[in-house]
Every structure is written in structure tokens, then in C-alpha cells.
Structure 1
Amino acid sequence: MGKTVWMFPGQGSQMPGMGQTLVQQDETRQALMDLGTRIGLDLTDLLTTGTKDDLKSTEIAQPAIVAHSTLLANRYAALGHRPDFVLGHSVGEYSALVAASVLTASEAVYLVRERGNLMNQVKGGTMAAVIGLDDVEAAHHAIESIAATGEIVQIANYNCPGQFVISGQVAAVETATAKLKELGAKRVLPLDVSGAFHSSLMTPFAPRFEDILVSSPFQAAKTKFISNVDNDFHDQPEELIRLLVQQLYSPVRFEACVEKLIAEGADTFIEFGPSSPLSGLVKRIKKDVKIVSITTLEQLEAEAIR
């Protein structure tokens, strides 16, 4: 019998009105209010009436996404469902750790609020999605040749065949964009982000974030959690904290994570979040797996009774 993965998207998955269904039920509405109180934000208002601009900044987007994702997954779990594996993309790893009973939803929202505050301090960086270039090795060499000149640019996300993301200083990303187009990239799209996430520009903030993490109550994982950093399974608090620190400046190896989960017997991927960017990526990695996208309580309840 096949195994099930619960997966959680990262920044960029937020959408205006994404929490409308959450406030229609007393239990999830109260939970959302409690999470907002923990971090001093009116998450209820942000998730129901917040505009695209309201949800754009990193320190707002990350707790909003994690709050939304974890409330949906917690509700699904309350209906008697359990995953065999959990997987997050970047900040989505915190939602995955809630599903694995490593963190409470309250602690996860607090941590990503702090994470977002630190990440938002990095100026002068940007990111771009590279689409339609299958020769990742050639792309890697081209980017390394730019970095060898002293400019900061690197591959930040390995998402699926033919799609990866580069991150770094604005000028270096622009230089890399030109080179990658010469190599055959169909499109290189600038991302609407406030910094160069998953690049070495994040390294100076790693010690400060580690101090925050080590003071938080982590438990051993009760469900198999696969890390973006090394696409391997980890369950102990100390190693999970180490990986979350490294994740700030390391590439997200999402494609490799999905491939490993499939090799371990996964054939069903359920995505919980405001939107479903990971579902499309998984489909490009492996066409014949089952994919379920849950963005509302109505979708959740329909799926739960199947």
C-alpha cells in the first residue's frame, strides 16, 4: 500500500482572502485569533481582508502562511488522518514540523515571525525563477563563474525538472539572467521578494536566529520529516535546529526531496496552504502520483470523507 506525504508551501503562496473559510468555524476562528495574539498581529483581519500589499512583506507573509497551513492540517488530523511523511518548501518546513509534532502551531508562527524580521533586514538582494533550462549542471557552472568574480549569486531552489531559482545581489542576478538565457532558458522571471533568500547574504543573521531556535521547545518528530537542506530524514531536536539555521542560506532541494519520498513508497501528496504551488512541481517530477490540494475547509471536508 502506498504512503502519504503532507506538504506545505512557502512564501509566495499567500493570497488575499485566504482565511475566509477558517473564520466560518468557531474552532478555527478562535485558533487563528490565538495565533495572532502570540505574535501581536491581527491574523484574522490579515487573512480575511488583507490586500496583496498587506501580505507581501516577509515578516507578515511567513506567519500568515504558516498559520493558515497548520490550521488546515490540524483540522484534517482531527478528522482521523495521519501522514507517513511531511515535507515543506522553505518556510513551509515550519508547518511540516507542526504536523510532525515537533512544534506547536503557536511556536511555529512565533519562530517564522522572528525569521521574517531577520530576513527582511537583508537589503540589496533579489531572486529570479529560471524556466525551461534542463541542463542544471551547465547553469551551475555559469553561476559559479560569476560568483568567482566576487559577486554573490547562487541557485536557491531546485524545484522540479526545468525550473530552479537563483538568488543573490541584484547586479549578479542580472548577469546570471543574461548567461542563463544564452544557455537556453526560456524565461527568467524576477520574483517579487524583499531579499536574496537561501543565499550567503543570509549568513550574518544565522547566529541570531539560532539563539532564537535553541530557546524554543522542540520535540522529537513523530512523523518522518525530510529536510530541504540535505533531502534526508531527521527527527531529533538538535539536528532539526541545525538544519533550520542552515536552511536560511542553503538551497531548497525540493525536487530531490520528492524523489526520495517516492523511492520510500510515497504515492499520494496532499498540499495544505493558501494556494497550491507545490502540487504543480510534484506533477512535473512524477506524473503518476496522486496529488490533492487543500486550500479551504470545504475542500478539506470533502477530501476527508472520501
Structure 2
Amino acid sequence: MDEVLKIVNEIKSGIIKPVYFFMGEEPYYIDKLTEYIEDNILSEDDKGFNQMVLYGKDVTVEEVVANAKRYPMMAERQVVIVKEAQELSRTIEKLESYAENPQPTTVLVFAYKYKTLDKRKKLIKNVIKNGVVFESKKMYENQVADWIKRVLSGKGYGIEPKAAAMLVEFLGNDLSRISNELDKLAIILPKGHTISPKDVEDNIGISKDYNIFELRKAIGERDQLKAYKIANYFAQNPKDNPLVMTTGLIFGFFSQLLQYHGLKDKSPGNVSKVLRVNPYFLKDYDIALRNYPMKKVSAIVAALRDIDVKSKGVGANAVSQHDLLKEMLVKIFN
């Protein structure tokens, strides 16, 4: 996020480069930077003649370069934006000579999503020399809750840790989807409000009591009654709680637990870093560590692999989701 703010602040202060190449697995910041340039480099009067938005699937690199070499019409500069630029991946190296000597009155922007280019290649070296290269990396799930907190703080809101965890469990590390849901909450809730699990449940549709986060917690605490209640809820609402996702996340939890058992340095900072777990939730892992010895965790991981295969329909076509969830819990608790 610091790098994104640096690019935005430079543009605000009038430091505008002739080439911007935004690339990477996480599309959220690529879209945000592209939108910022699209909205802010030129005045509304200048955009009509001097701003062009192209799409990678509809153009060639040669056509992009030809447009970039145009002179602006009655303006200081023109802006050429290439969205979905990853569609040009097979021929993108042809941009190399232009990047070496870009048109100074053009701002050429590439939104190259879901992929990256080798920074050792001459193309990227040329862009770095004359413009800006920004790589938007996927955020680890243990980092997303803090990201949510920062974004909401910027909007004038707070959020309880459990509410942030619910969003992460439900939406993963897809920042665009999370951002859309946060925007909805900001419309509904008054500024200064601290978002609670109930707010998430009421406005986004994630149950605060019956979700994978609560199931994982109940399993860690060996609270069998609560775990079976949640499993029954999942079985009755399979579209919102796919079995494949449930078994995958529980498998991930016990894999982390196995890793935790093997750590020599069990200090909170090291555990959080190695397991990629938000420090707030380390207490849940500490409880599970005491409840499940290493040998038991190994047996559970093996059993969960079998359940996962069955959940995908291999050798278990006649077994219902409810029965597979019960089988999973039986193998965990026995």
C-alpha cells in the first residue's frame, strides 16, 4: 500500500511519468491505480481528444505504440490506457524499444493483471528507467484482516476482530470483493461506527454463529455439540457452505497445527509469522495445540485427505454432504 500511495502522491505533486506498467496477481491495486490516472491526469475538457482507453484483446502492441506516439491535441499531454493488457502477453516484448525512448507528452498505462513479467527482461528495465513498474502481489490471508482495518479506518469506521475474520473466511484474500462489501457497509452504517459480527451477518449474509471460523474454533476447543450444530447448518445450506471448501479449510487448520507442533520457537511472533496467522487468533491455535497431540493431528490430516477426496465425488457418489461432515467430525473427535 505504501508504494501505491507513493505513486498517487507523485502524480498529485506533478511528477508524471511517460510509462506506467502495473502488473501482478492481485488486480485490486492495478485497477485502483489505473482508475486514478484515468480520472486525474487530464481535465474533463482535455479527455475528449487526449484520453484513449484500449483493451488488450482488441489491439496489437504496434497499435498501442502508434497511439502512444501521437501528439496531444491542444493539451500538454495525452493519456493512453491499455486495460486487460495481459491479453498481449505473447507479444508484449515488442514494447521494449518504445519503453527505451517513450514519447514525453504521452502517459502510457498498462494494466497487466494476474501475471507478472520477468524484471530481468530489457522491457521492464526500460520501463523502470523511464517510468514506473508496480507489482501487485496477492496478500496472505493472515494479512487481510489488518488491511480491512486500515481501509475502514480511512473511511472513518472501526471493525471488531471477529467481524474482520468472518469477512476473510467468507471472501478469502480477494481484495476487490472485500472492498465492494466494505463499501456496502459504509453506505448502510453511520460514520464512526465499529462494525460488529452482527453487522456482517445482517448486511452481508454471513452467519456470525454458523460459519467456518466458528466450526474451526469449536473443533479446536473440542466442543462437539457446537461443532455438530454448525455441521448440521452447513448440510442444510450447502450452496453457502460448499463441502469442498469446508474440508479444505479444516485440513488447512490441522496442517498449520502440525507445523506448530514441530516449531522449536513457539513465541507468538514466530508462530504468527510461520503459520501466517493473525496474532489475535493465536489463542485458538494454542487451545487446539493442547487438545490435539502431534500424533493425533497427523492421523486427522490423513483422514481429512480421504474426506476431501470423497467430497469431490471420488468413491463416494451416494454419500450425502451431511454424512461426510459427520464422518469428518467423528474422525477428528475420536
TM-score where L is the length of structure 1: 0.23
More strand by percentage: 1
Q: Which has the larger radius of gyration?
A: 2
